[in-house]
Amino acid sequence: MADITIKDATPEQLAMLGDAAFKAGNLGLARGFYGALARAQPGAVGPMVRQGMTHRPNARRPKLLEVLQLLESVPGAQAFVGEGIATWFKNPPFAADAKFMTLAAQDEAIAPSGVFNWHWNLQVMLNAAQQAKAIPGDYVELGVYKGHTTKFLADYLDFATWDRNWWLYDTFEGVPADQRDPGREGMTATVYGESFTFEEVRDRFATYGNIRVIKGRVPDVFAQGSPGRIAFIHIDLNNAAAEIGALDALYDRLSPGGVIVFDDFCWSTSHAQYRAEMAWFQARGLNVFPLPTGQGLFIKPPA
Ligand SMILES: C[S@@+](CC[C@H](N)C(=O)[O-])C[C@H]1O[C@@H](n2cnc3c(N)ncnc32)[C@H](O)[C@@H]1O
């Protein structure tokens, strides 16, 4: 590792040096410059976005850095670039929330591979989970992987102190072969990047007396145990058949005012899920809000 000392560099110079190192593929050096940039501009969005870009990089990342640079060339843009989203002239609530930023950084290592700067998605999840606290019922996550989203939310919300349960379901083996959508036949367990197990996730939540991890296939797994009354569901199963099966099984248990967040609603890779879910809700005269994060947000109307 090179030992480089730079004195009196401006933030612009630090960003330029970091970006050059990043594009050259020297992530360690890029992190060093971005770290100095973050210290020079505490609380600023640009250094945070750059630091996130260096984590678990993929082939798209250098192009996305160019998107960030281009947006930053617009005066006052306050640009943010994450996986599947770029915003400018927006005031991201998370940027001013030290607890949010600390937990998001801490939990990033257990997100599915390719996911970086997931802050807007986590912000939607956090507001939805907070909203549902006023609604009677338990919390549910369908499709857990290593527990990234629920860990972030449970830590932020201090869920251990809540008088309700959070039920987490996963096959821990990827999408079952007979549920894979056309064109997504490769959705095995390895598609998420790293190996993951039921035991690992169970242990991750062991300190929470009110979070249960259940291994099995949605919707059949609900026979092993499931809540009678629900306030909040995060649906992230990466296939239409299981997500529709979950709606059929759980919708009537969702309290009025209860919230569902679909992780994959508007992603271009997940159009089969979108079509099936739109049809399911439209048949009942209901509406899911499509969000630019790729998520879909549903709030159950009063009975
Ligand atoms: C994108 S990952 C979930 C990511 C997770 N929500 C997070 O916050 O990191 C999708 C997960 O759905 C699981 N899955 C897919 N089909 C399933 C089914 N029918 N039943 C249970 N789990 C399933 C996969 O094993 C995978 O772990």
Compute the average pLDDT of residues 54-74: 92
Ligand 1 center from residue 7 Cα (angstroms): 48
Q: Coil, strand or helix: which one is 265?
A: coil
pLDDT over 90 (residue 5): no
Predicted local distance difference test score (pLDDT) of residue 175? 96
Same domain membership, residue 166 and residue 83: no
Instruction: Tell me the C-alpha distance between 173 and 3, whole Å.
Output: 44
Predicted local distance difference test score (pLDDT) of residue 271? 94
Among 105, 90, 84, 92, smallest CA distance to 38 is for 105
Same domain membership, residue 165 and residue 290: yes
- C-beta 121 within 6 A of ligand 1: no
In this prediction, residue 192 has a pLDDT band, given cuts at 50, 70 and 90, of: confident
What is the domain range of residue 25? 11-91
Instruction: Tell me the C-alpha distance between 266 and 273, whole Å.
Output: 9
Predicted local distance difference test score (pLDDT) of residue 190? 83
Of 56, 108, 142, 170, the residue with max ligand 1 atoms within 8 A of its CB, to mutate for a pocket test, comes to: 170
Strand partners, 212: 167
Number of domains within the chain: 2
- C-beta 171 within 6 A of ligand 1: yes
pLDDT over 70 (residue 2): no
Ligand 1 center from residue 192 Cα (angstroms): 9
- Nearest ligand 1 atom, CA 146: 9
- C-beta 179 within 6 A of ligand 1: yes
pLDDT over 70 (residue 191): yes
Instruction: Tell me the C-alpha distance between 171 and 236, whole Å.
Output: 12
Q: Coil, strand or helix: which one is 95?
A: helix
Contact 166, 258 (CB under 8 A): no
Q: Tell me the percentage of the chain whose pLDDT exceeds 90.
A: 86
- Per-residue b or e along 70-79, where b marks 16 or more CB atoms closer than 10 Å to that residue's CB: ebbeeeebbb
- Nearest ligand 1 atom, CA 174: 25
Instruction: Tell me the C-alpha distance between 243 and 19, whole Å.
Output: 41
- C-beta 143 within 6 A of ligand 1: yes
Instruction: Tell me the C-alpha distance between 29 and 31, whole Å.
Output: 5
Predicted local distance difference test score (pLDDT) of residue 98? 93
Predicted local distance difference test score (pLDDT) of residue 67? 97
Ligand 1 center from residue 147 Cα (angstroms): 10
Contact 74, 110 (CB under 8 A): no
Q: What confidence tens digit (pLDDT) does each residue in 124-162 have?
A: 999 999 999 999 999 999 999 999 999 999 999 999 999
- Nearest ligand 1 atom, CA 242: 19
Is residue 2 situated within a structural domain?
A: no
Residues in the chain: 303
Residue type at 118 in one-letter notation: W
The model's pTM is 0.95
- C-beta 176 within 6 A of ligand 1: yes
| 296-299 and 289-290 beta bridge pairing | antiparallel
pLDDT over 60 (residue 171): yes
Same domain membership, residue 207 and residue 82: no
* Nearest protein CA to atom 22 of ligand 1, as residue: 170
- C-beta 145 within 6 A of ligand 1: yes
Residue type at 12 in one-letter notation: E
Same domain membership, residue 39 and residue 165: no
Mean pLDDT of the chain: 94
C-alpha of 238 from chain center: 13
Strand partners, 86: 81
Contact 142, 248 (CB under 8 A): no
Q: Tokens 């410059």 label which residue?
A: 33
3-state secondary structure 34-93: HHHHHHHCCCCHHHHHHHHHCCCCCCCHHHHHHHHHHHHCCCCCCCEEECCEEECCCCCH
Ligand 1 center from residue 237 Cα (angstroms): 4
Ligand 1 center from residue 37 Cα (angstroms): 36
Of 238, 264, 269, the residue with max ligand 1 atoms within 8 A of its CB, to mutate for a pocket test, comes to: 238
In this prediction, residue 1 has a pLDDT band, given cuts at 50, 70 and 90, of: low
Please give the order of strands across the beta sheet that includes 166-170: 211-215, 166-170, 138-142, 230-235, 254-262, 296-299, 289-290
Ligand 1 center from residue 182 Cα (angstroms): 17
Contact 122, 152 (CB under 8 A): yes
Same domain membership, residue 255 and residue 127: yes
Residue type at 191 in one-letter notation: V
* Nearest protein CA to atom 15 of ligand 1, as residue: 175
Instruction: Tell me the C-alpha distance between 157 and 103, whole Å.
Output: 11
Same domain membership, residue 166 and residue 82: no
**Range from 9-18, 85-94, 186-195 carrying the lowest mean pLDDT:** 186-195
Same domain membership, residue 40 and residue 170: no
Same domain membership, residue 227 and residue 78: no
Same domain membership, residue 87 and residue 15: yes
- C-beta 201 within 6 A of ligand 1: no
Compute the average pLDDT of residues 59-83: 94
Of 83, 118, 144, the residue with max ligand 1 atoms within 8 A of its CB, to mutate for a pocket test, comes to: 144
Q: What confidence tens digit (pLDDT) does each residue in 197-216 have?
A: 999 999 999 999 999 999 99
Residue 129 sits in a domain whose CATH number is: 3.40.50.150
Contact 46, 95 (CB under 8 A): no
Is residue 96 situated within a structural domain?
A: no
